[in-house]
Amino acid sequence: MTTKGTQLRSLVKSDNTLELSLQEVEFPQPGPDEVLVRVEATPINPSDLALLIGPADVSTVRVEHSGENPLVKADIPENLMRMVQGRMDESLPVGNEGAGTVVAAGESDAAQALLGKIVGMVGGEMYAQYRCLNVYQCMPMREGIKAAEAASCFVNPMTALGMVETMRRENHTALVHTAAASNLGQMLNKVCIADGIDLVNIVRRQEQEEILRGLGAKYIVNSTADSFYADLTDALAETGATLAFDATGGGKLAGQILTCMEAAAVRNMSEYNRYGSDVYKQVYIYGGLDRGPTVLNRNFGFSWGLGGWLLSPFLQKIGLEKALELRGRVAAEIKTTFASHYTREISLSEVLSPAAMAEYGKQATGEKFLIKPHR
Amino acid sequence: MTTKGTQLRSLVKSDNTLELSLQEVEFPQPGPDEVLVRVEATPINPSDLALLIGPADVSTVRVEHSGENPLVKADIPENLMRMVQGRMDESLPVGNEGAGTVVAAGESDAAQALLGKIVGMVGGEMYAQYRCLNVYQCMPMREGIKAAEAASCFVNPMTALGMVETMRRENHTALVHTAAASNLGQMLNKVCIADGIDLVNIVRRQEQEEILRGLGAKYIVNSTADSFYADLTDALAETGATLAFDATGGGKLAGQILTCMEAAAVRNMSEYNRYGSDVYKQVYIYGGLDRGPTVLNRNFGFSWGLGGWLLSPFLQKIGLEKALELRGRVAAEIKTTFASHYTREISLSEVLSPAAMAEYGKQATGEKFLIKPHR
């Protein structure tokens, strides 16, 4: 016996087009340590967009078929085709995380224990009506938690906790975060307030400052203010933050943070050193809201690092036991610290609508989409 | 009893000028663990220039006094003055390393053992006729080694060994080096050949390729060639090098290396991953031949790091015992692996000559200067 259902697919073709389609597929029955989950809610995160629409130009989207088997196409600029060589002509399922009800379970005790429960899930292929996966990819929810509340229980919550854990493991004592009013940024504020960690929030707009102030954030700096350098340096000197997580990636922001960290460190130096302070300063780029080049004016000495940061390798590094500890905190606080808010609920076929694509394809949109695959 | 002698000083003044002068100073008698060394040879390294001339414009140099107490001045562009706020109005001695004869020694056994010996030295203030310093700042030379042969025994040799040691400590297996035909680059080739380590040399000119080929270098890539990306990717795929040391700092080179490392890693991947390979790629910037901004086109996934690298903090990190082991190798191979070649020998007062400054102030000069303070 197999379970049939709809699954969203993303396909890059050699004629420089992207195709999104819905397909009727058969989901496997769970093996001993697996469960089959009826996917009831799955969010569109910025981190889903690379696989979902990649470098395609969403302004060129056109509907090829609608109705039962919808299919839309968009053009990929010729100069960006080499970014997608590795996925050419492969029809790929999409969706990093989601939540739903366990409708079938393998014979192991761990799998059986989840039967009938609402679980959060990670592991891709979530933009579908069902997902068969290992019990370790599930986060069981407490009685009374709805799938929509658990849909975003992995990517943002674990990233927020991962940032704090990275801070501790790499011997920093306070944090800086950019795009700080994002859903993730709000969670990070709640975690840092609860754990007594100073967090310097960098935002771009007045209304973002207000969102964070409403959460109780103490250090909020606006990167568009004339006094940005001075404000950031003051906040860094006061908090001693020497570790930043940057969601933008491109442009000068990462380098500006290093510059201000160095200026804060130099305030405490008694003697001139032509190589700069010996305070180690680190910025991790974990997103790419700005796809342009990263530009560093290296006026921050030699004691610094810039690097990429991703959740999956981080979780591998800390090991299963620690990862499960962090997951336990997420599950316990899913309605408070780690609550997500959505502005739009859509069906699977609505993911393919040009109007919705124009909106979620922006990355920096104010909208946050939740897909309900059985709607 | 004190020893008198000449010492070179560099002074930044608030009227946007740099003053270089020679002054008659008294050198202290050595304490128990110290020795007084008659400085007989000391090189001008790129790493000396930041302190010696800083951001001054060497084309503006003029002689204010000549003769017994020479003094020259140069202008510092207004927009660069904030780089030197920390050293304003302080007359600073200069010179990272040198060599000479121990002419007086403190009472400890370690100090007495050096009396009459030729030693290499590190610790600044070497552009002078004498230097009083701790025995741990000295590298004793074997019988028959001349001061001129030992003058450059710290900065370049320990940096070359430090790069190899960093490679081992951070679990890489091969190296990339830019500005690879430099004095340091030549030493690094000799070390890597002796130790069986693959080294990818990046140069800019044909004659630099020939210098390295003459040393037996196997992987030489010219960054001005049309085929640079392909050549570098091939060399990286063949050697598996995932760690680079970059002397240029500014421009696109560091990012190009990461891009090619990623391309080499992707060749070995069987499955598409939108986040790129999970092969960790690291570039350390250890110099600033190009003072312009570092520009990264982040097309190399998320598993990467860029950072500053300096010898002193590295030596502190590995500890005294390991540092002494590396020093021992330098002393043993000072006439072979770690031999330095100079194209110009000058006196202390000639360091202040506008003609010499125009030459050594270029950083990328083909000339390599050795100062003989008693000439």
Angle at B112 between CA B107 and CA B114, to 5 degrees: 145
Rounded to whole angstroms, the Cα distance separating A179 from A203 reads 5
The whole-angstrom separation of Cα B196 and Cα A220 is: 52
Q: What CA dihedral angle connects B56, B61, B63 and B68, to 10 degrees?
A: 50
Chain B residues in contact with A312 by the CB 8 A cut-off are: 275
Q: For residue B37, how many other CB atoms are within 10 A of its CB?
A: 32
Optimal mutation site among B82, B87, B248, B272, interface A, most CBs of chain A within 10 A: B272
DSSP, collapsed to helix, strand or coil, labels residue B186 as helix
ipTM exceeds 0.90: no
Does residue B47 register a pLDDT over 60? yes
Q: How many CB pairs under 8 A join A and B?
A: 97
Q: Which residue, B251, B248, B253, B240, is CA-closest to B281?
A: B240
- The single residue listed with the structure tokens 């000083």 is B9
Angle A109-A114-A115 (CA atoms, 0-180°, nearest 5)? 100
pLDDT at A365: 57
What mean pLDDT is predicted for residues A254-282? Answer: 88
- What distances in angstroms separate CA B97 from CA B90, B124, B131, one per listed residue? 21, 6, 11
Chain A: give the shortest CA distance to residue B359, in Å: 22
Q: What tokens were used for B57?
A: 């414009």
A258 vs B208: CA distance, rounded Å:
35
pLDDT for the residue numbered A267: 86
Q: Give A50's pLDDT tier (boundaries 50, 70, 90).
A: confident
Q: Is the pLDDT of residue B114 over 80?
A: yes
Task: Check residue B203 and give its pLDDT.
Answer: 97
B307 contacts A306? CB cut-off 8 A: yes
Write the residue in A50, A296, A303 that is nearest to B293 by C-beta. A296
Asked whether residue B222 carries a pLDDT value surpassing 70, the answer given is yes
Tokens standing for residue A194: 């609860």
In the 8-state DSSP scheme, what is residue B136?
A: G
Can you tell me whether residue A93 is helix, strand or coil? strand
State how far the Cα of A354 lies from the Cα of A365, in Å rounded to an integer: 15
Q: What is the pLDDT of residue A133?
A: 97
Q: Does B87 touch chain A (CB under 8 A)?
A: yes
The answer to whether A161 and A185 have CB atoms below 8 angstroms apart is: no
- How wide is the angle at C-alpha B338 spanned by C-alphas B332 and B341, nearest 5°? 135
| Sheet strands side by side (includes A57-65) | A57-65, A71-75, A17-27, A3-13, A92-93
Note the pLDDT tens digit of each residue in A276-286.
Answer: 888 999 999 99
As a whole number, mean pLDDT of residues A28-37 equals 97
pLDDT tens column, A220-229: 999 999 999 9
Question: How confident is the prediction for chain A on average, in pLDDT?
Answer: 94
10 Å Cβ neighbour count for A12?
A: 25
| pLDDT tens, residue by residue, A308-334 | 999 999 999 999 999 999 999 999 999
As a whole number of angstroms, the distance between CA B326 and CA B155 comes to 12
The pair of structure tokens assigned to A242 is: 């020497």
What's the whole-number mean pLDDT along residues A41-61?
Answer: 92
What mean pLDDT, rounded, does chain B reach? 94
pLDDT in tens, B248-300: 999 999 999 999 999 999 887 777 676 788 899 999 999 988 989 999 999 99
* pLDDT value of residue A83: 80
Please check whether residue A154 touches B, CB under 8 A: no
pLDDT computed for residue B268 by the predictor = 77
Asked if B41 and B151 touch (Cβ cutoff 8 Å), the reply is yes
Kindly determine whether residue A86 and residue B269, on different chains, have CB atoms separated by under 8 Å.
yes
Q: What was the pLDDT predicted at A86?
A: 82
Q: Looking at the complex, does the CB of residue A306 fall below 8 Å from at least one CB of chain B?
A: yes
**C-alpha torsion B233→B236→B240→B242, nearest 10:** -100
**Within 13 A of B158's CA, how many CA atoms are on the CB side?**
29
Q: Which of B50, B274, B304 is closest, CB to CB, to A51? A: B274
- Does an H or E element contain A284, and which? strand A281-285
For B317-336, the pLDDT digits (tens) are: 999 999 999 999 999 999 99
What was the pLDDT predicted at B68?
A: 79
Contacts of B372 (CB under 8 A, 6+ apart): B40, B41, B148, B345, B346, B347
Contacts of B295 in chain A (CB under 8 A): 293-296
Whether residue B298 and residue A90 make contact (CB cut-off 8 A), yes or no, is no
Distance from C-alpha of B316 to C-alpha of B330, rounded to nearest angstrom: 18
Question: Given this model, what pLDDT does residue B83 score?
Answer: 80
**Cβ atoms of A368 and A344 closer than 8 Å:** yes
Asked if B308 and A313 come within 8 Å (Cβ–Cβ), the reply is no
Task: Report the percent of chain A where pLDDT is more than 90.
Answer: 84
- % of chain B with per-residue pLDDT over 70: 98
- Which stretch of DSSP H or E encloses residue A260? helix A253-266
By the 8 A CB rule, do A76 and A12 touch?
yes
- pLDDT tens digits for range A144-199: 999 999 999 999 999 999 999 999 999 999 999 999 999 899 999 999 999 999 99
> Which residue bears the tokens 């969203």?
A8
Element (H, E) at A42: strand A34-43
Query: Quick one: pLDDT at residue B267?
Result: 86
Q: Quick check: pTM over 0.80?
A: yes
Give mean pLDDT, residues B141-156.
96
Question: What average pLDDT score do residues B132-136 get?
Answer: 96
**Taking CA atoms, what residue in A is nearest to B297?**
A293
A259 at B interface, C-beta within 8 A: no
Mean pLDDT of the B36-40 span: 98
Give CA angle at B196 (B195, B197), nearest 5°. 95
Handedness of CA B75, B76, B78, B82 (dihedral sign): negative
Nearest CA among A344, A352, A342, A343 for reference residue A6: A352
Q: Lowest-confidence range among A202-216, A270-284, B327-341?
A: A270-284
Q: Contact at 8 Å (CB) between A99 and A68?
A: no
d(CA B18, CA B95): 17
- Non-local CB neighbours of B153 within 8 Å, separated by 6+ positions: B97, B99, B120, B139, B141, B330, B331, B334, B338
Q: What is the pLDDT of residues B158-179, one digit of tens each?
A: 999 999 999 999 999 999 999 9
Cα three-residue angle B121-B127-B129, rounded to 5 degrees: 85
- Dmax (CA) for chain B in angstroms is 76
